[in-house]
Chain A
C-alpha cells in the first residue's frame, strides 16, 4: 500500500452536525454495545495516539480525537483526552460524547470510571492495544490486573468494515474534494509549472474545499512517486499525481483517475474491478490486476499496493493482495490503485462501494 508520513493535522476542524447528527452516534453506540454483550464485556476501552489518531475512537466519539474512549454496557461513551486544559474548550465542540481532559495521564481517570461503574462482568475489552504508549500500557496493565482484559480489536473493526449510509456519504464528499484537487493540479501542469507545483496546487484546493488532512505524491524527480520536497524538482511526463483527502475524519480518493487513457495501469484497474462484488475473494481482484501487468513489474505494483478498504482510516481492511483470502462485504468502500512500472510508468485509481451484484463508483463531480 502507499504509506505516508503522518504529520500533524491542521485543516478544517468542525463537527458538521448536518452530515453526522447525534442520532448517528447513538446508533453506533448501540451497535457496539451489542458486540460487548456478545463478548460478555463489562467495559470497552478504545485507544488512540493523541496526535496521530486512528478511526477506532472517531467511530464512537464523532471526531478523530486522541485518547481513550470508555464505553459501558449502557449509556454514552466517555472520552479521556491527554490534551491540556487550554485545548479542552475547542476540543469539546468536536465530539458528541462527554470529553474529560486529563493532561498527561488518561489511565488513572479511566480506571476510576471503570471502578465507579461497578461492572457486571470482570472482562474489559480493549481495542487498539498497539496504539497505547509504552508507559500508559504498563500503567493500564497494572491497574487492570484484577480484570480479565480481552483484545476485541478484530470484532470491533469487523463492525466498522461495512460502512453505514452516512459514512458512505462522507467518503463520497471527500472523494469530491480529492477530484477537485487533482484536477486543479493537473490543470496547472498543462500551463507549464512543474509536477511538484501541481502537488502544492492540489493541496491548496483540497484545503480550501474543506480538507482536514491531505496526502499527496507526485512523479517529480527520479523514479516513482515522491512527497513534496521543494519546487526545485523537475518535470516528468505523464503527470502521476496520487492524492487522498480527509474531510470530517473520512478519507477519500478520486472516483477515478488515470495518468493517461488506455494505459497498462488503467487496464489492470479495470481487470481488478471486474472481480469486485460482494462475496468475491479479495485475492482474485489482486490476481486479475497482476495478470494485466508484465511479471517484472509485479513486485513494484505490490509494493505501492493495489489498494484497500478506506474510511476513517486511509488504509483499512481488506488489503488487496494475492494472499488475502477474505471475502468482500456489501457496503465496504475500496480505494483501488495500480502503479504499472517499466519504461513508461502509469497509474490509475478508483473509489468504489461494493454493492448489489458488483460495485458502484463513489463520489464524482
Chain B
C-alpha cells in the first residue's frame, strides 16, 4: 500500500499546488508567502507545509518560502534530517538547520529588506506557536496577512495525488477493521487490541494511525483505550484513522461481542438511516448545516431529538485536514459543499437504550451526492465469543 515517491501523479500534483498557490497569491496581491509547519501532524489541524512539500518534518519548525517568481525553498529542522528532506520534499531547494537557528536562517533566506513595502502572508494552519507568530512581524516589520483560508480553499478540493493517498488510507482502514473483527476477543484488553490494530495498519503502509477504541456494556462516549478487559455483551467502538502521505481517512464502526440484541440492531439502523439521509443531500452547493438537519431528522423522528446535541454527540463530520479543515459538518458551520471535497460523515451518538454507537464513512462529494470511499459501508459488527481468551 506504500505509494511511490516517483509516482508521476505526485510530481504533477505538487507542481500544480504551487502553481495554484501562486495564482491565488497574485490575485490577493501577495508577493511573499511563508507556509509554516510546527511538526504536529494530525487530522485536527491543517499542515500547510506538508501540503506544499509532501515532506513530513520531524523537527519543531519548517518554513516553505514562496514568492511569485523565485525558486521556492524550504527551511527545515533539525539538521540531521536534511537527507530525508532532500529525498522526499517536492520543493527541491532544501536548507536545514538546528531549531535554535531556524528564525535566523529563514531571515537570511528571505532578506527582509527586500520585502519592506511588499504584501507578505503566513499560513501556519492555526498551529503556529506564539513566539513564532510574533517573530514574523518582528522580522518583516509590518502587518502580515493570514493565508490559512487561502491555502485551505485550494487544498479542500482534492487533487489526483491527494485522492490516491486518501483511497490508500481508506483501504487500510477497511482492512484494519476486518483485522479487528478477527482479532478482538472477550478476555482481551482494549489497549492490547489497539496495539495490534496499530501495528497492522502500519504494516499495511500507514505512516500514522489515530484511533479511538473503547468498550462497555453501555458506552457513554468513545475514547482512547484503557486496560479494560472486554467481555461477552460489550459494545466495542472503533474510530480507525490511518494516514498515507499525510492524508488521513477515517471509518467509525460498532461491534457487539456476541449476538446483537434487537434494540441494538434498531439503534444502528437508525444511525445508518441518518448517514444515508445526509449522503443523499450532500451535493455541491448545499450548505453543510442542511446536511446536519437531514441527518438529525430520522433521529428526531424516532424521539431522540434531545440527544442530537453535545454531550451526546460531538459533530456530524469533519475534514481530514492535510491542507484544510473545511468542511466541519455542524449546524453553526457556514460551509457550502463543493465537488471533490472529502470528509468523514458520522452520525455517531449516544442513545439511551443502547449507549453510544458509531457509524461513519469517508465520503467524496459528487454531483449526485456523497459517494462513500469505502468498498463496503459499515454494518453492525458481531464477534462470536467461542474463542474467549483465558
Q: Which one of B40-48, B150-158, B362-370, B375-383 is at the interface?
A: B40-48
B221 touches A86 (CB 8 A): yes
A226 within 8 A of B: yes
The smallest beta-carbon distance between A19 and chain B, in angstroms, is 12
Identify which of B22-30, B79-87, B263-271, B275-283 touches chain A: B79-87
Which stretch, B12-20, B54-62, B64-72, B112-120, touches the partner chain A?
Answer: B54-62
A contact residues around B205 at 8 Å (CB): 230-231
Q: Cβ of B227: which chain A residues have Cβ within 8 Å of it? A: 12, 14, 210
The residue in B77, B79, B205, B225 that gathers the most chain A C-beta atoms within 10 A of its C-beta is B225
A90 to B224, CA, bound (A): 9
- Chain B residue numbers with a CB within 8 Å of A183 are none
- Asked if B210 is at the interface of the complex by the 8 Å CB criterion, the answer is yes
B191 to chain A, nearest CB (A): 4
Stretch of A2-10, A36-44, A106-114, A284-292 on the interface side: A2-10
Q: State the CA gap A90–B192 with chains docked (Å).
A: 19
Query: With A10-B194, A210-B227 known to touch, is A86 a contact of B40 (CB < 8 Å)?
Result: no
CB of A132 within 8 Å of the partner chain = yes
- A7 adjacent to B41 (CB under 8 Å): yes
- Contact A11–B207 (Cβ < 8 Å): no
How far apart sit A130 and B203, CA to CA, in the bound complex (Å)? 37
Q: Is the CB of A208 within 8 A of B40?
A: no
Q: A84-B311, A228-B207, A303-B78 given as contacts; is B224 within 8 A of A9 (CB)?
A: yes
Q: How far is the CA of A224 from the CA of B83 in the complex (A)?
A: 8
> How far is it, in angstroms, between the C-alpha of A90 and the C-alpha of B220 when the chains are bound?
8
- A133 & B130 in contact (Cβ 8 Å cutoff): yes
Decide: A200 and B199 in contact? CB cutoff 8 A.
Answer: yes
> A222, B195: Cβ atoms under 8 Å?
no
Between A4, A85, A204, A227, the greatest number of chain B beta carbons within 10 A of the residue's beta carbon is seen for: A204
- Give Cα distance in the complex from A100 to B239, angstroms: 26
Determine whether B98 belongs to the interface, using a CB cutoff of 8 Å to chain A. yes
The answer on a CB contact under 8 Å between B226 and A203 is no
A87 at the interface (CB under 8 A from B): yes
Restricting to B209-232, which residues have a CB under 8 Å from any CB of A?
A: 210-212, 220-221, 223-227
User: For B39, what are the chain A residues with a Cβ–Cβ distance below 8 Å?
Assistant: 3-6
Kindly identify which residue among A84, A210, A224, A300 contacts B310, using a CB–CB cutoff of 8 Å.
Answer: A84
Contact (Cβ within 8 A) A14 B84: no
Q: Which residues of B contact A14 (CB under 8 A)?
A: 226-227
Asked if B334 CB lies within 8 Å of chain A CBs, one says no
Cβ contact within 8 Å between A51 and B44: yes
A65 and B44 CA atoms in complex are apart in Å by: 17
Chain A: minimal CB distance from B276 (Å): 23
The range of chain B's interface size is: 35 or more
Number of A-B residue pairs with CB-CB distance less than 8 Å in the complex they form: 147
Q: Is A281 an interface residue (CB 8 A)?
A: no
Task: Kindly list chain A residues whose C-beta atoms are within 8 Å of the C-beta of B226.
Answer: 12-14
Pick from B2, B199, B313: contact of A203, CB under 8 Å: B199
Q: Which residue of B lies closest to A12 (CB)?
A: B191
Of the listed residues A9, A86, A103, A299, the one surrounded by the most CB atoms of chain B closer than 10 A to its CB is A86
A222 and B87 in contact, given A10-B212, A86-B313, A304-B80 (Cβ under 8 angstroms): yes
In the complex, which residues of chain B have a beta carbon less than 8 angstroms from the beta carbon of A103? Answer: 310
* CB–CB A85/B44 < 8 A: no
Q: Mask for A1-36, Cβ within 8 A of B = 1, else 0?
A: 001111111111110000000000000000000000
* Inter-chain contact A132/B225, CB cutoff 8 Å: no
For residue A89, CB closer than 8 A to chain B, the reply is: yes
Q: Indicate whether B99 reaches chain A with its CB closer than 8 angstroms.
A: yes
Q: Is residue A52 contacting chain B, with contact meaning CB distance below 8 A?
A: yes
Do A222 and B210 have beta carbons less than 8 Å apart?
no
A204 and B196 contact, Cβ closer than 8 Å, known pairs A8-B210, A86-B311, A300-B80 = yes
Sorted nearest first, the 3 A-B pairs with minimum C-beta distance are: A230-B2, A207-B195, A204-B199
Given A11-B191, A224-B81, 13 more contacts at CB 8 Å?
A3-B60, A6-B40, A9-B224, A84-B311, A86-B312, A86-B313, A87-B314, A89-B311, A130-B131, A200-B199, A229-B2, A229-B207, A232-B2
